[in-house]
Each structure stands twice: as structure tokens, then as C-alpha cells.
Amino acid sequence: MTAEARLYTLSHMPQDEPMAGIARRRIMGEKAMVSEVQLDKGCEVPWHEHPNEQFVILLEGRLQFDVAKPDGGRERHVMAPGDMLHLPGDVAHGGVALENCRVLDIFSPPTEHAGIDRPGGS
């Protein structure tokens, strides 16, 4: 059986709040997942890692993103709209929204539990 193409409209998709200050809508595919994430100014994404490869595309706002370096240090990026950050799997990272932000996250492979999922999220 051949898979069929499907059109999604973000405003019609269910939204969840995996942690305080974050609202998310996501599409799960067979080999990738796309999430539209809105972060409130000051929202902190805790330091975490996951086996999934991740692409972070900042659409609106300013986002400070810290990424683990191979030597054990951290590299800081201050992202502006249009910036894209590639995170290989198992690379620790975290950040803080310097302004209200809108982000497009792409994960491969898809996962039900991304790094921002915390107990108590809705």
C-alpha cells in the first residue's frame, strides 16, 4: 500500500503544553516529526539530550541556545529569525527565550516524548 499525501493547517491542529511557557502543535510522520513551538519570553528549556537528530528553525523572536561541545564545554548561540541550528542525536542542549519565540523543530526519527516533555505537562 502506498502512503498518501496529507495537508495540515496549524490553526486546526491540537495544541499541548509540555511545560510551563511552551505551547506546541506537531505532526508525526513515519520517519520525521515537525513541531511548531511557541515559547513565552523568559521560558527556560532545561538542559537535556535525546537520540533524535533535531533541526531548530527560529521563525520569530530571539532564542539563546546552549549546546554541548565535544570537549565538555558549552557553546552559546543567540538565534534570530531565519537562523537554523542542527543538533545531532545525543548532543546535550538547552536554552531560554529572550523574547516571545516561534520555532519550527524537526526531529528524526519521530518520538512521542521530546526533550521538553515533562511530567505534569498537559
Structural domains for the chain: 32-108 (2.60.120.10)
Measure Cα distances from 103 to 41, 46, 79, 116 in Å: 13, 16, 11, 13
The count of other CB atoms within 10 Å of the CB of residue 61 is 19
Q: What order do you get walking across the sheet with 93-97 strand by strand? A: 44-48, 93-97, 63-68, 74-79
Cis peptide preceding 70, ω within 30 of 0? no
User: What confidence tens digit (pLDDT) does each residue in 86-116 have?
Assistant: 999 999 999 999 999 999 999 999 987 766 7
User: What confidence tens digit (pLDDT) does each residue in 27-85 have?
Assistant: 999 999 999 999 999 999 999 999 999 999 999 999 999 999 999 999 999 999 999 99
Determine the pLDDT at residue 122.
32
Determine the pLDDT at residue 117.
67
Determine the pLDDT at residue 115.
66
pTM attached to this predicted model: 0.88
* pLDDT at residue 121 tops 60: no
Measure Cα distances from 25 to 41, 71, 76 in Å: 18, 35, 27
**Confidence band, pLDDT 50/70/90 cuts, at residue 1:** low
